[in-house]
Amino acid sequence: MPPRSSVRRRGSGTAAPLTSDVRPLLASGVAFEQATDGAAWIAMVRGVPSSRVSRAVVDLLTAMDGETALRDLHLRFAASQSTESFLQLVQRFRASGLLGGETTLPPGRLSYRPPFTVQVATLRAPAIFGRLNDLLIPLPRRAVLATVGVLLCLGLLAAVPQTSDLMNVLARPIPLPGLVALVAALSLMTLLHESAHGLTLTRFGGRPRRAGFMLFYLSPAFFVDVTDGWRLPDRRQRVAIALAGPAVHAVIGAIAMLAALAVPQPVVRETLLLLALSCAAIVLVNLIPFVRFDGYIALMSALDEPNLRARSIRDGGDFLTRILFGGQRASRSLDRWWSVPFGLASLAAPIVLVLFAVVRIARALAGGGPVLGLLVVAVEAVVVLVGVGLVSKALLRILRSGVPRLRFACVVAALVAGAAIAGAVIPVPVTATFGFVTRDDEVVLVHAGETVEGDVPAGAPVALMSNGILVNEQVGRGTIRLQRPEATRVPLDALMPVKAEGLSTPAVIVARVDEADGSGRLPSTGQARVELGTANLWQTLWATGVALPLGALQNEVGKG
């Protein structure tokens, strides 16, 4: 029978609230292993490295014997910290499975990390990467670094004479064979990216415990668990493990840029240029240090600061609590001058990533019929509910920290009112997007499918754009002249940034364009944006996030 003072009472099914009277107990599966450099310790949970910790943390955790209250531990080990800060620290220990009675296990074949990460993995990664490592010929580290440096420099030099071509491939539809080849190449490179992490760890003597597939902030990706890198004594080795993946994309992007100079075939050359640009974008995103990407792992390893992001987020949260709600000043979790701005950026970055993913999904699926429209709205609803839940928990934690209740209520009310008012008064341009086709020197607007969703006002200005995979370049302007809807078939690149010779799709002609400036140099197909005036932010979000995705469903119900 466990001590009655354990953090979790057996049979309760829930963790007891953390108070100064709680008597925590170190979990039986936790051990501490001193790093070979002697400068830090490795916290092990059932034989799996959890993090590098200081000697002070080891002393604190080993003093958790199930009999000593947190109040006494606070005075003994962290008297300079506020009670709230100390309880938050213990809460992180509990969430990591370091305290007795907790059910937290090391990630297995299927795991979930809030708020938006699901992983499906194999536990045979050590054997797999061990065999791969045996197949590779060992090369001198300096030779590898020199080769990578030369290739990157040559790739940058090759991009200079191709600058205009790089912009052109982004501003026009990509041929379908090129798109298929690009998607296949990027999928393979993502696998190579993650394999590079695992192979580098293996080469340094570590063991990648898990590898597999995941949904990361609503985006599919591969992953390799390299937490065993905390055992390595040299921080430069841990940095190399983190940067091995981006290095793969950077090298392949440079090779693609060089190859584009020598390939005369247009489709192949465009695909190579898009591959080079995609690799460059992936490298830049991976180096963002504010999310658990490779850049963050490299920075944390280079500074030898375990849990860098969590500690800086805590400092950023304490700063906001003090400024907005009058909370007490707490001691820094991270003793760096940039801890607060880094923490605030780390709070904002996931929000931006999730919003970007939702917008991308909505744009890709909203016009795909009633089923995909419902899927878009369901994804948006899940994101909103999770966001509301996280904000509610944060506010509840702030309220429990002892801030003045009247000030808390006034600040929350002011923030809610400010957001509501801002959304009601901020004007946002409203546009409707169609495709256009040039026929016999006449420009017609077309819509996918067999029905038209919404009205197109006569005389509305319209901007004619190229239908690029990333960039839409304006090629002309005109005004709308209505006509009776007419069924037709149009090339695929009139509706999507993909070009396929001989392939057409059903569409409806919804209007014609009068006085199309630039009609003499208009492409045969493109994107048309009809300007419908302005609306407030809330109206725009509702129209684009709910009304447009569900428009096809409403049409189906109307026909039924």
414-446 per-position pLDDT tens digit? 999 999 999 999 998 888 888 899 987 789 998
Q: Residue 366: what pLDDT? A: 54
Q: Which two tokens stand for residue 45?
A: 């949970």
Q: Is the dihedral of CA 437, 442, 443, 447 positive or negative?
A: negative
pLDDT tens by residue, the chain, 560 residues = 333 333 443 333 334 567 888 888 888 778 888 776 666 788 877 666 767 777 888 889 888 888 888 888 888 888 877 787 788 788 778 766 788 754 445 566 777 776 667 788 887 888 888 888 888 888 888 888 999 999 999 999 999 999 999 999 988 899 999 999 999 999 999 999 999 999 999 999 888 888 888 877 667 778 888 888 877 878 899 999 999 999 999 999 999 999 999 888 888 999 999 999 999 999 999 999 999 889 999 998 898 887 788 889 888 988 998 899 887 777 777 888 899 999 999 999 988 888 887 877 776 565 555 677 788 888 888 888 988 988 998 898 888 888 899 999 999 999 999 999 999 999 988 888 888 999 877 899 988 766 555 567 888 999 998 888 888 888 889 999 988 888 889 998 888 888 888 888 888 888 899 876 655 578 889 888 888 888 999 988 887 777 777 765 555 555 55
Q: Which domains does the chain have, with CATH numbers?
A: 1-106 (no CATH), 117-303 (no CATH), 308-425 (no CATH), 427-534 (2.40.30)
Q: Which two tokens stand for residue 345?
A: 């950026």
Give the SS3 label for residue 107: coil
Q: Residue 356: what pLDDT? A: 83
Rounded Cα distance, 346 and 357, in Å: 17
Q: Which two tokens stand for residue 232?
A: 């390595």
Contact (Cβ atoms closer than 8 angstroms) between residue 228 and residue 206: yes
Q: Residue 14: what pLDDT? A: 37
Contact (Cβ atoms closer than 8 angstroms) between residue 511 and residue 457: no
Q: Is the peptide bond before 115 cis (omega within 30 degrees of 0)?
A: yes
Q: Residue 37: what pLDDT? A: 61
Total-model pTM: 0.78
Q: Residue 12: what pLDDT? A: 33
- Residue 212 φ/ψ, nearest 5 degrees: 175, -150
Based on the number of CB atoms within 10 Å of its own CB, is 400 exposed (0-12), middle (13-18) or buried (19 or more)?
exposed
101 conformational bin, left if phi > 0, alpha if psi -120 to 50, beta if neither: left
Q: Residue 449: what pLDDT? A: 65
- Residue 522 φ/ψ, nearest 5 degrees: -70, 145
Q: Which one, of 433, 526, 532, lies nearest residue 475 by Cα?
A: 526
In a 13 Å sphere around the CA of 178, the CA atoms on its Cβ side amount to: 22
Q: Residue 546: what pLDDT? A: 79
